[in-house]
Amino acid sequence: MAAAEGPAGDGEPWQSWLPNHVVFLRLREGLKNQSPAEAEKPASSSPPSSPPPPLTRNLVLGLSGELFLWDGDGSSFLVVRLRGLGGAGEEPSLSQYQRLLCINPPLFEIYQVLLSPTQHHIALLGIKGLTVLELPKRWGKNSEFEGGKSTVNCSTTPVAERFFTSSPSLILKHAAWYPSELLDPHIVLLTSDNVIRIYSLREPQTPARVIVLSEAEEESLILNKGRAYTASLGETAVAFDFGPLSAVPNSMFGQKGKGDVVAHPLYILYENGETFLTYVSLVHSPGSVGKLLGPLPMHPAAEDNYGYDACAILCLPCVPNILAIATESGVLYHCVVLEGEEDDDQTSEKSWDSRADFIPSLYVFECVELELALTLAAGDDDPFDSDFSCPIKLHRDPKCPSRYHCTHEAGVHSVGLTWIHKLQKFLGSGESFVLFSIFQRFYQKVVWNWGAWMAQSIEHPTLHVGSGHDFRLGKLSPVSGSVLSGESA
């Protein structure tokens, strides 16, 4: 692959002039006299009894050699073109950008933006709702939106608007696009009532499918020794993620016959560290959802179930599936998803029930501890980082399947799993082995403090984070508060 070329030609890469672009100058001016705590403070005159925890706002994304930044005050995206600006020896234009304006702007604060798999829509996520922006058409010499207009009006579609309006106590905990480039766009929402709802943009007010995670029927859950309980037990789901397509027996969907259904595994993480599994297929309307399985057994077993403050889960796009589970204390667990042993405790007592053969186990391969706070100097008794914890968001690397990024209040970490190709080679060798003994032997606790600090400091926390990749630009590493503070990445 040819080396990436910056917009300024051979003289200066785009990473060097980007902090001086008028868009970032304007954003820095708006944040100049506003601390992160003030930014999250509600507008109410009366002080709240328990202020909500601050959110790491992921408001940046890269697409087609352009950088999209959400401007909350203007309810619009500011689009900065990183390619084709200025020829060889010419200075790049630091005042050129496009504004994508929402015709029907959301009435809630946006804390995350998500690009759809087809790259035609962007989901705008807030605590109290979700709106989808449709990207306009491109044309002209530089393939800009509507030929390069300075301001382009964009249509927006509120999703589940009536639901959030009629349920003021509910909040949106997690959302993701259904991973398909061929089907109509669907977006999946997890709300605080412990329910997952799948919406189609064709009918944004009525869910196509509903997955109830608590007070479920006994037959919808398969647990150890055939015992069936409700999914809640005082705990609620906090995050979910889809895995790659796989063939699933019809019995998983309550259908008869020996055929298979191609579906995406949906891994659902609970705050107590337990992981549940179901399968989702939207090929045929209104879609099919399999039985809820779990909690999935974890090996080696741990008394604390690998933590009680789980906050994020990510399924890497590889076979076998590998899950990254994050806790608010800064610990990451890398788990390999494999079929359980015949003598495993998760096998149902009803051996004739074929459903029990497809309940996988999680083999914890390694534990990674992130540094979430600055290390204090020797002799300093300030307990700043002793009990420091914060929610962590996990993001796939669109270029490297064995790498992902972690974002949180303190900064950005990039994590690479260098052992994935060795594991795949070993599993494909055809050699006989015992899964439990192998993972017990290789299980290790690894402490990595090499995470990219991205020039962060207490004065410049992570406010906006996004990542992407474009072959014409090279790697778009996570863009964070370092740009907003005027420092070069």
pLDDT at 110 over 50: yes
pLDDT higher at 4 or 91: 91
What is the pLDDT, as a whole number, of residue 54? 59
Question: What is the mean pLDDT of the segment spanning 423-441?
Answer: 62
What is the pLDDT, as a whole number, of residue 90? 60
What is the pLDDT, as a whole number, of residue 387? 60
Question: What is the mean pLDDT of the segment spanning 73-95?
Answer: 78
pLDDT higher at 421 or 42: 421
Question: What is the mean pLDDT of the segment spanning 381-397?
Answer: 72
User: What Å distances lie between residue 155 and 27, 100, 135, CA to CA?
Assistant: 24, 10, 8
Closest to 58 measured CA to CA, from 372, 463, 439: 463
pLDDT at 11 over 70: no
Q: What percent of the chain has pLDDT over 70?
A: 67
pLDDT band for position 293 (50/70/90)?
A: very high
In contact, 82 and 93? CB cutoff 8 Å: no
pLDDT at 248 over 90: no
pLDDT band for position 77 (50/70/90)?
A: very high
What is the pLDDT, as a whole number, of residue 424? 81
What is the pLDDT, as a whole number, of residue 253? 82
Parse the chain into domains and list their residue ranges: 253-375+385-453
Closest to 327 measured CA to CA, from 344, 348, 312: 312
What is the pLDDT, as a whole number, of residue 449? 36
Question: What is the mean pLDDT of the segment spanning 50-68?
Answer: 79
What is the pLDDT, as a whole number, of residue 177? 98
pLDDT at 38 over 90: no
Closest to 158 measured CA to CA, from 195, 201, 192, 119: 201
One-character DSSP codes across 336-348: EEEEPPTTSTTS-
What is the pLDDT, as a whole number, of residue 355? 44
Q: What is the spatial distance between Cα 63 and Cα 82, in angstroms, rounded to a whole number?
A: 10
What is the pLDDT, as a whole number, of residue 431? 64
pLDDT at 204 over 80: yes
Question: What is the mean pLDDT of the segment spanning 396-406?
Answer: 92
134-180, pLDDT tens digit by residue?
999 999 988 899 999 999 999 999 999 999 999 999 999 999 999 99
| The dihedral sign for the CA sequence 220, 224, 227, 229 | negative
What is the pLDDT, as a whole number, of residue 97? 94
**Beta bridge pairs of residue 70:** 77
Q: Pick the most confident of 38-47, 305-314, 352-361.
A: 305-314
pLDDT higher at 447 or 203: 203
In contact, 83 and 13? CB cutoff 8 Å: no
Range scoring the smallest mean pLDDT among 215-224, 257-266, 378-387 = 215-224
In contact, 415 and 332? CB cutoff 8 Å: yes
Q: Pick the most confident of 54-68, 264-278, 419-433.
A: 264-278
Q: Count Cβ atoms below 10 Å from residue 296 Cβ, excluding itself.
A: 19
Q: What is the spatial distance between Cα 286 and Cα 197, in angstroms, rounded to a whole number?
A: 12
pLDDT higher at 82 or 87: 82
What is the pLDDT, as a whole number, of residue 410? 80
Q: What is the spatial distance between Cα 247 and Cα 264, in angstroms, rounded to a whole number?
A: 9
What is the pLDDT, as a whole number, of residue 198? 97
Question: What is the mean pLDDT of the segment spanning 198-218?
Answer: 85
What is the pLDDT, as a whole number, of residue 433? 54
- Angle in degrees, CA 156, 158, 160, rounded to 5: 160
What is the pLDDT, as a whole number, of residue 456? 35
Beta strands in 135-259 (DSSP E): 138-139, 144-145, 151-154, 156-159, 172-177, 186-191, 195-200, 209-212, 221-222, 237-242, 246-249
Question: What is the mean pLDDT of the segment spanning 56-82?
Answer: 91
pLDDT higher at 424 or 179: 179
312-337, pLDDT tens digit by residue?
999 999 989 999 999 999 999 999 99
What is the pLDDT, as a whole number, of residue 428? 77
If you average pLDDT over every residue of the chain, what do you get?
Answer: 77
Closest to 292 measured CA to CA, from 305, 278, 304, 280: 278
